């Protein structure tokens, strides 16, 4: 890439020399594709207009058509407007995957509000920070005690003004609803008897209208559709301001990558949590843009997912590597029919080549790795659906997206082809900035480019290969060691199912790698055997100083392997050793 080359948001590009991916782009995908930004809720309106009787959601056996969903959203939007939701109002969604999430996501946008996604597993302390920081005015949740009890505490403390509570049993088929109330009634909260009942709004009252109201005009490029809080791995969580245009465009960009997927004919498996940016775009919004049926579960439970794929026949499954790894290691894999799957997209973490190849071999489904982050709505790059397969690659930039690799010591300078650099992204899906954080926003950009903190190299065909996060480097005796290299090498051992590598203090080298390994069910090996396996694959400086075999490794809510807990454990051990 030459440093002086630019492309406009409309997609006018320069030469193939400047952007090597252009000469090697997937067949049927146009990098220059024109995408006119629009309000995000138009996806649902269009799908309902064209396919009113097509199933929109299939939740634990209860289905809602696109026509029914559109009418529900209209009524919810009118009800929200009636209680004061308007341009700029922040509406929090504190929900598991369910039709309720979709209804209030689109209803909020239609009423002019901004969606604030909340993790249902957050503690009250974490929720308190995000409610205050985002200035959330109204929280939408279900009457499940595990959710409502936390919302009740927020309101009792004066942190949250009001909450809209929807009944969970109403989401189930009639028989399941009755059984749930009979046998799991203790899991439900009675919001009407709560100490904060005066601040609770019932869903029934919000939906009690004909769906007609004066919807505000939306400016796609300036109005914020979603405040998406980052994971906080680099410090205090920050709200990425994603405009209607950013998310809308990213959905179109993602859909363009899979031209063979039809409209009104696909089924998308929705097990990734919708509150996470990956699932919000690539599961929920993508499915609705395609008028696909969303076959959803509240959370990933392996046996339930296997049965659902076998019975409901989804054609598309976005997921994270640990999900695909779990599926192919299921002890009764051969008893489930997974042949309906045509396309699986892996994101959120690096996809080891061994997992990709084995999953494809066992299922016959293409498993493609993509890359993105909250600040880019999220998709930035993806691998072609049909070859070439390049080990460790996150693929090429999706339409209208420019990826520039910048020098680690000077992000204003682009690195020569083949050299390591920080991934910097320019495209219509990039956030407007961080909510109420102008200084952090300024630091995150270099000119028009968003700095990602990820280090990569690019080959001559425009494929990118992540080496690691800038802040995840392990510095051994002054040399850079990249955890991903060690992890990939350990995944090649036949007994290894999952692996995470972190840096720990080392008296001699300053810092040294330590590997944590989970073995496949029924497999046995020793740390000595694993070390012997690594010796011919890694330089001496890269070899872990320690390998620990565990029954399980910590994961985030969406199933990504998490290093944070392991680093905290090691730090606690060091403190204990001092005393």
pLDDT (tens, 9 = 90+) of the chain, 579 residues, equals: 333 333 343 344 444 457 999 999 999 999 999 999 999 999 999 999 999 999 999 999 999 999 999 999 999 999 999 999 999 999 999 999 999 999 999 999 999 999 999 989 888 888 999 999 999 999 999 999 999 999 999 999 999 999 999 999 999 999 999 999 989 999 999 999 999 999 999 999 999 999 999 999 999 999 999 999 985 434 468 999 999 999 999 999 999 999 999 999 999 999 999 999 999 999 999 999 999 999 999 989 999 999 999 999 999 999 988 899 999 999 999 999 999 999 999 987 778 888 899 999 988 898 999 999 999 999 999 999 887 888 889 999 999 999 999 999 999 999 999 999 999 999 999 999 999 999 999 999 999 999 999 999 999 999 999 987 776 778 786 666 778 889 989 999 999 999 999 999 887 677 899 999 999 999 999 999 999 999 988 878 889 999 999 999 999 888 889 998 999 999 898 888 887
| Main-chain phi, psi angles of 453, to 5 degrees | 80, 5
Pick the closest to residue 31 from 48, 55, 13, 44 (CA basis). 13
31 neighbors 397 (Cβ within 8 angstroms): yes
404 neighbors 20 (Cβ within 8 angstroms): no
Residues 6+ apart with CB under 8 A from 512: 474, 476, 503, 504, 505, 506, 544, 545, 546
- Residue 149 is encoded by which pair of tokens? 């009890």
Pick the closest to residue 369 from 356, 387, 386, 359 (CA basis). 356
Q: Which residues pair with 405 in a beta bridge?
A: 423
| Main-chain phi, psi angles of 66, to 5 degrees | -65, -35
Cα separation, 115 vs 108, whole angstroms: 7
Cα separation, 60 vs 100, whole angstroms: 13
476 neighbors 510 (Cβ within 8 angstroms): yes
Q: Map out the domains of the chain with their CATH numbers.
A: 66-229 (3.40.50.980), 473-578 (3.30.300.30)
The residue behind tokens 């807990």 is 565
Residues 6+ apart with CB under 8 A from 27: none
Cα separation, 172 vs 448, whole angstroms: 47
Cα separation, 351 vs 362, whole angstroms: 16
Residues 6+ apart with CB under 8 A from 92: 116, 117, 118, 131, 134, 136, 138, 139, 140
Q: Which residues pair with 393 in a beta bridge?
A: 465
CB neighbours (10 Å) of residue 190?
11
């Amino acid at each position: 890439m030459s440093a002086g080359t630019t492309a406009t948001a409309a997609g006018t590009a320069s030469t193939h020399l400047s952007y090597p991916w252009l000469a090697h782009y997937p067949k049927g995908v146009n990098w220059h594709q024109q995408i006119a930004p629009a309000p995000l809720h138009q996806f649902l309106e269009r799908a309902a207009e064209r396919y009113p009787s097509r199933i929109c959601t299939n939740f634990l056996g209860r289905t809602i058509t696109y026509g029914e969903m559109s009418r529900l959203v209209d009524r919810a939007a009118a009800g929200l407007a009636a209680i004061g939701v308007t341009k700029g109002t922040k509406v929090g969604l504190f929900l598991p995957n369910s039709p309720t999430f979709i209804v209030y996501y689109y209803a909020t946008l239609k009423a002019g509000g901004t969606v604030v996604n909340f993790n249902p597993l957050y503690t009250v302390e974490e929720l308190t920070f995000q409610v205050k920081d985002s200035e959330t005015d109204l929280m939408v949740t279900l009457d499940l005690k595990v959710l409502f009890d936390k919302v009740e505490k927020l309101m009792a403390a004066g942190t949250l003004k009001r909450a809209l509570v929807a009944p969970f049993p109403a989401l189930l088929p009639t028989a399941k609803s009755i059984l749930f109330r009979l046998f799991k009634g203790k899991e439900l909260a009675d919001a009407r008897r709560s100490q904060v009942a005066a601040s609770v709004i019932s869903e029934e009252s919000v939906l009690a209208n004909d769906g007609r109201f004066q919807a505000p005009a939306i400016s796609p490029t300036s109005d914020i559709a979603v405040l998406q809080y980052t994971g906080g791995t680099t410090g205090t969580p920050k709200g990425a301001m994603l405009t209607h245009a950013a998310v809308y465009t990213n959905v179109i960009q993602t859909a363009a990558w899979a031209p063979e997927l039809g409209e009104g004919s696909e089924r998308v498996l929705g097990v990734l949590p919708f509150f996470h940016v990956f699932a919000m775009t690539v599961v929920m919004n993508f499915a609705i843009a395609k008028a696909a049926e969303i076959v959803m579960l509240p959370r990933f439970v392996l046996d339930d997912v296997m049965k659902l794929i076998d019975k409901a026949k989804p054609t598309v499954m976005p997921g994270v590597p640990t999900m695909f790894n779990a599926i192919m290691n299921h002890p009764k894999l051969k008893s489930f029919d997974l042949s309906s799957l045509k396309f699986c997209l892996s994101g959120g973490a690096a996809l080891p080549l061994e997992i990709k190849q084995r999953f494809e071999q066992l299922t016959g489904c293409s498993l493609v790795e993509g890359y993105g982050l909250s600040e880019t709505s999220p998709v930035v790059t993806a691998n072609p659906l049909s070859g070439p397969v390049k080990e460790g690659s996150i693929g090429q930039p999706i339409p209208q997206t420019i990826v520039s690799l910048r020098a680690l010591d000077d992000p204003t300078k682009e690195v020569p082809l083949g050299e390591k650099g920080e991934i910097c992204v320019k495209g219509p899906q990039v956030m407007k900035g961080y909510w109420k954080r102008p200084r952090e926003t300024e630091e995150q950009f270099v000119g028009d480019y968003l700095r990602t903190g990820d280090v990569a190299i690019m080959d001559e065909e425009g494929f990118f290969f992540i080496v690691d996060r800038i802040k995840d480097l392990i510095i051994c005796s002054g040399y850079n060691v990249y955890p991903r290299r060690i992890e990939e090498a350990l995944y090649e051992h036949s007994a290894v199912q999952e692996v995470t590598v972190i840096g720990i203090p080392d008296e001699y080298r300053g810092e040294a790698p330590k590997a944590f390994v989970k073995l496949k069910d029924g497999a046995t090996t020793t740390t000595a055997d694993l070390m012997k396996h690594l010796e011919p694959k890694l330089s001496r400086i890269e070899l872990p100083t320690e390998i620990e075999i565990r029954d399980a490794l910590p994961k985030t809510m969406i199933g990504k392997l998490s290093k944070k807990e392991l680093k905290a454990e090691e730090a606690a051990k060091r403190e204990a050793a001092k005393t």
